[in-house]
Amino acid sequence: MPDLPLWKYLLGAFCAFNIGVAKTGMPGLGILAIPLFVVTVGDARLSAGWLLPILLSGDIFAVFYYRRHAAAGKLFSLAPSVAVGLAAGSFMLRFDDRVLRPIVGFIILSMLILYLIRKRSVNPLPTEGVVYTSFYGGFAGFATMIANAAGPVMNIYLLSKRLTREEFVATGAWFFFLVNLSKLPVYLNHGMISGKSLAFDAVLLPASIGGALMGRKLLALMPERVFEWSVTVLAFLATGLLFMPNR
């Protein structure tokens, strides 16, 4: 087990639990974990690699749990633009934490603003066409490669497709499982995953699985409006930490 301060394990476990919950029943909660995990690791670039195995564990659980509900056809049109976004994000991984940290913050902040626009408007953006699909696919690919932060933009995209709750979660699970799997060799090539990071992730794995098991139960306990605003406010506060100097 890596010799790290206890608070890093506690904060990392909190992030892993949130990701597990987000994967199985409360999409959107995972955005809170991204900036907090950067704080946990202390490096925006490395945090993306350290977090990837935790994300994949949640993806696998969700894919298995909702295996009969995925609307895979909704994802095919995204593939070209997602690939472009992933390539652009892979290029950006050449830069260090001082460059990537604020970029991660701006990406998450932009996604949160888009989320609020969607909540306040009946139809703020078109929901069909090549331009619409390319915007969301490219942004999702870029954001997930450099920051594992494509959750909000994909949530908005899938909401526009008027899927049932089960289809929404299952389709998102398949998308992120395939995309996160494709990122694995890139992160390994950039040295963003190591024996130390895998040992740290192994300690957090029970929290991720626990979150995945609790996701649907927690959703039933909290009114939707209270949940959405709580996540939004906490995500804004957590994102603010990314713009503070890393000491």
Non-local (6+) Cβ contacts of 241 within 8 A are: 35, 36, 38, 39
> Residues 5-31: what's their mean pLDDT?
88
> Residues 22-29: what's their mean pLDDT?
78
Nearest Cα neighbor of 140 from 79, 51, 66 is 79
Please tell me the total number of residues recorded for the chain in this structure: 247
> Residues 42-68: what's their mean pLDDT?
88
pLDDT range class, residue 149, cuts 50, 70, 90: confident
Q: What is this structure's pTM?
A: 0.81
Distance (Å, rounded) from C-alpha 1 to C-alpha 113? 38
Looking at residue 84, its pLDDT comes to 94
Distance (Å, rounded) from C-alpha 40 to C-alpha 237? 15
Task: List Cα–Cα distances, 127 to 134, 222, 224, in angstroms.
Answer: 11, 29, 24
Mean pLDDT of the chain: 82
Residue 126 has pLDDT above 60, yes or no: no
